[in-house]
Amino acid sequence: MQQRKTIIWFRRDLRIQDNAALFSGVEQGSIVPVFIWSPEEETKRVVGEAASWWLHHSLLELDRALQRRGSKLIVRKGRSLPILKELIEETGAQAVFFNERYEPGIRFRDQQIKEALEKESIEVKVFHSNLLFPPLSIVNNQDQPYKVFTSFWKKCLQMPIPHSKSLPTTFNSTHSDVKTLNIEELGLLPTRAWYKKFKGYWVPGEKGAIAKWEQFIEERLSGYSIKRDYPFVQQVSRLSPHLTWGEISPRWMWHQLVEQENIVSNDGQKDIYGFLRQLVWREFGYHQLVSFPEMIDSPLRKEFTFFPWEEREGEFAAWKQGRTGFPIIDAGMRELLETGWMHNRVRMVTASFLVKHLLVPWQRGASWFEETLLDADLANNSMGWQWVSGCGVDAAPYFRIFNPIIQGQKFDEAGDYIRQWVPELKHLPAKYIHCPWTASDAILREAGVELGTSYPFPIVEHSFARERALEAYNLIKK
Q: What is the CATH number of the domain that holds 23?
A: 3.40.50.620
Q: Residue 316 and residue 189: Cα distance in Å, rounded?
A: 26
Length of the chain in terms of residues written = 478
Q: Residue 255 and residue 129: Cα distance in Å, rounded?
A: 14
What pairs with residue 33 in β-bridges? 8
> Is residue 310 situated within a structural domain?
yes
Do 448 and 329 share a domain, yes or no? Answer: yes
Q: Residue 35 and residue 7: Cα distance in Å, rounded?
A: 10
Burial class of residue 6, CB neighbours in 10 A (0-12, 13-18, 19+) = buried
Do 276 and 329 share a domain, yes or no? Answer: no
Domain stops at, among 291, 325, 347: 291
> Is residue 168 situated within a structural domain?
no
- The residue ranges of the chain whose pLDDT is under 70 are 1-2, 44-46, 261-265, 478
> Is residue 232 situated within a structural domain?
yes
Question: How many other C-beta atoms are found inside a 10 Å radius of the C-beta of residue 90?
Answer: 14
Q: Residue 275 and residue 296: Cα distance in Å, rounded?
A: 26
77, 347, 380, 450 from 344: Cα distances, Å: 34, 5, 12, 30
Per the CB < 8 A criterion, the answer to whether 75 and 187 are in contact is no
Q: What is the CATH number of the domain that holds 137?
A: 1.25.40.80
> Is residue 413 situated within a structural domain?
yes
The angle subtended at Cα 214 by Cα 208 and Cα 215, nearest 5°, is 90
Do 248 and 346 share a domain, yes or no? Answer: no
Identify the pLDDT of residue 168. Answer: 75
Do 11 and 123 share a domain, yes or no? Answer: yes
- What's the number of domains the chain is made of? 3
Q: Residue 357 and residue 272: Cα distance in Å, rounded?
A: 36
Do 463 and 320 share a domain, yes or no? Answer: yes
Do 144 and 250 share a domain, yes or no? Answer: yes
Q: What is the CATH number of the domain that holds 460?
A: 1.10.579.10
> Is residue 368 situated within a structural domain?
yes
Do 223 and 120 share a domain, yes or no? Answer: no
> Is residue 198 situated within a structural domain?
no
Do 313 and 225 share a domain, yes or no? Answer: no
Domain stops at, among 264, 291, 318: 291
Identify the pLDDT of residue 1. Answer: 45
Q: Residue 81 and residue 87: Cα distance in Å, rounded?
A: 10
Q: Which domain holds residue 137?
A: 131-160+207-291
Report the predicted TM-score, pTM, of the whole model to 2 decimal places.
0.95
> Is residue 186 situated within a structural domain?
no
Domain stops at, among 241, 266, 291: 291
Do 136 and 120 share a domain, yes or no? Answer: no
Identify the pLDDT of residue 408. Answer: 97
> Is residue 15 situated within a structural domain?
yes
Q: Residue 384 and residue 103: Cα distance in Å, rounded?
A: 16
Do 52 and 117 share a domain, yes or no? Answer: yes
Question: What are the start-end ranges of the H helices in 158-239?
Answer: 206-215, 224-227
349 closest CA partner among 380, 294, 388: 388
Do 318 and 459 share a domain, yes or no? Answer: yes
Name, in order, each residue with C-beta under 8 angstroms of 458's C-beta and a sequence gap of 6 or more: 324, 325, 326, 437
Do 118 and 139 share a domain, yes or no? Answer: no
Question: Alpha-carbon torsion 469, 471, 472, 473, what sign?
Answer: positive
